[in-house]
Structure 1
């Protein structure tokens, strides 16, 4: 598919400006926030999406990353990629051909926490994701492109994510939340806007070149307390009900009809610690994520 341009032109008065930052996956949760912050900083970013959304100070390229041969790109330097890693890996030759010298790409800490999942489909998904990350790094290294891989933990943005906001939707509907056991597994939810800021900071810092960073949230708390904070963010009284494993064996198949994506593996992880050290990112990126205080009432 040939890309089409809309919005502000990259050249004025016959003089070509320096390459502007390109954001792939620019209408997604994190990509959209990267785009907004770049625009607010006066960097005139270019957003790539199949479904552009008009916004001041932003030029759009309408495209499908699944067709890298059809990418009609402008001159590039810095690229931010929040699209699926496999699509990004496939697009690197085209991006490099148009001058990309710097790539900041998102994958996930799930590559570590879910690689031994009880769910075979989930294990296969993680295997493909890890392979895509490896291909991104290898292709960038072969072309002299400075890369940075950012691996967030549990991403949230009130009303937009498939993690925290999904729990919030269940609580709104039923006014309680069932836990597997005590829900003692530790979590570090991270806000999408903190990730956007980290990506922009990492892109500009040579110390971050050719490195992978885990990006946990600013607070470590149990799964139970995380759910409790979601109740708080909804302005509702906490009603958290522990259920034994035998009950969950019955509940999960029924819940899957109401909550897409729920599985026994997800329930089992309520007791598993999924935490990471933020020190490397704090030292080299300046990573200072906010504590987990979601607000669904704004």
Structure 2
């Protein structure tokens, strides 16, 4: 087997690389700036936007955590008679946020969905098996832009404001579990040519999710309820502490974003950990 990981320096891609090494492979990973420590990985310096410049051996499996449009552009250059499976990560946000009121977010998700469909169409034409994995909220203590960003805010100000009751359900999923799921899906014939949601096992309210972040920091839960009508004004004060965030986050705290894991459990044994993040090592806590 010869696997390539597109996005191998990312939080999910990095775990995929590590799991492949443990499984006895010597995977290939592409990066514009390969790390100095190559371990058992062959890092190829290159740009997926210019796939013709890549010089790669024949590949049996492609794992992609990079943007789906980049994969669609690069895939013809990766094709050979040996290519058996393409595993692409996108996001459940394609379902929950595709009609977002925020133009940039909406356009970004439309491009993600477009790349997903282009990849499926290319694989079908080439006779290559494909599997699309759509995770829910991804976390990896200290590294992600979701749970860890909230944890840093809590560390800084000691309190977390919520719009309303924060009753909307969430299913956070750990990046390492996604890597395990990707390898299992790649080797499963039942997962061929299918799209799966990959949620975490706990469907908890946004408020409880924040509470567990407090727990993981070793702090007493201090959650402040802000009436929705006042949220936007309050958000203007909190926005500098949350780069790239937007006021619509508050409105979404009341909306359920839950998905059915049963197909992934049935077809490739999806079994992620419960959501109880620990930040001691990531944040250097005593």
TM-score (norm 2): 0.95
Deviation at 1:245, TM superposition (A): 2.0
Q: Deviations along 1:142-197, whole A, 9 cap, x unmatched?
A: 11110000000000000000000000010000000000000000000000000000
Q: Is the 8 A contact 1:255 1:262 kept in 2?
A: no
Matched, 1:132 2:115: yes
Deviation at 1:97, TM superposition (A): 4.7
Task: Select the residue among 233, 237, 242 that pairs with 1:250.
Answer: 233
Matched, 1:177 2:160: yes
Matched, 1:91 2:109: no
Q: Is the 8 A contact 1:23 1:35 kept in 2?
A: yes
Deviation at 1:252, TM superposition (A): 2.2
d(CA) in 2 for partners of 1:115, 1:218: 24
Deviation at 1:71, TM superposition (A): 1.5
Task: Select the residue among 26, 35, 38 that pairs with 2:8.
Answer: 26
Q: Is the 8 A contact 2:228 2:250 kept in 1?
A: no
Q: Could you list the runs of 5+ residues in structure 2 that have no partner in the other structure? A: 282-286
d(CA) in 1 for partners of 2:22, 2:268: 20
Matched, 1:48 2:30: yes
d(CA) in 1 for partners of 2:275, 2:3: 30
Map of 2:91 onto structure 1: 108
Matched, 1:145 2:102: no
Deviation at 1:99, TM superposition (A): 4.5
d(CA) in 2 for partners of 1:41, 1:121: 40
Q: Is the 8 A contact 1:117 1:265 kept in 2?
A: no
TM-score (norm 1): 0.91
d(CA) in 2 for partners of 1:150, 1:35: 17
Q: Deviations along 1:118-146, whole A, 9 cap, x unmatched?
A: 21221111111111111010011011110
Q: Is the 8 A contact 2:235 2:247 kept in 1?
A: yes
Map of 1:269 onto structure 2: 252
After alignment, is 109-118 or 26-35 more displaced?
109-118
SS at match of 1:31: helix
Map of 2:170 onto structure 1: 187
Root-mean-square deviation (Å) = 1.2
d(CA) in 2 for partners of 1:186, 1:109: 14
SS at match of 1:277: coil
SS at match of 1:48: strand
d(CA) in 2 for partners of 1:60, 1:117: 37
Task: Select the residue among 11, 18, 41 that pairs with 1:58.
Answer: 41
Q: How does 1:199-218 map to 2 (within 5 A)?
A: 199-218=182-201
d(CA) in 1 for partners of 2:66, 2:167: 32
d(CA) in 2 for partners of 1:99, 1:203: 14
d(CA) in 1 for partners of 2:93, 2:102: 13
Map of 1:10 onto structure 2: none
SS at match of 1:271: coil
Map of 1:6 onto structure 2: none
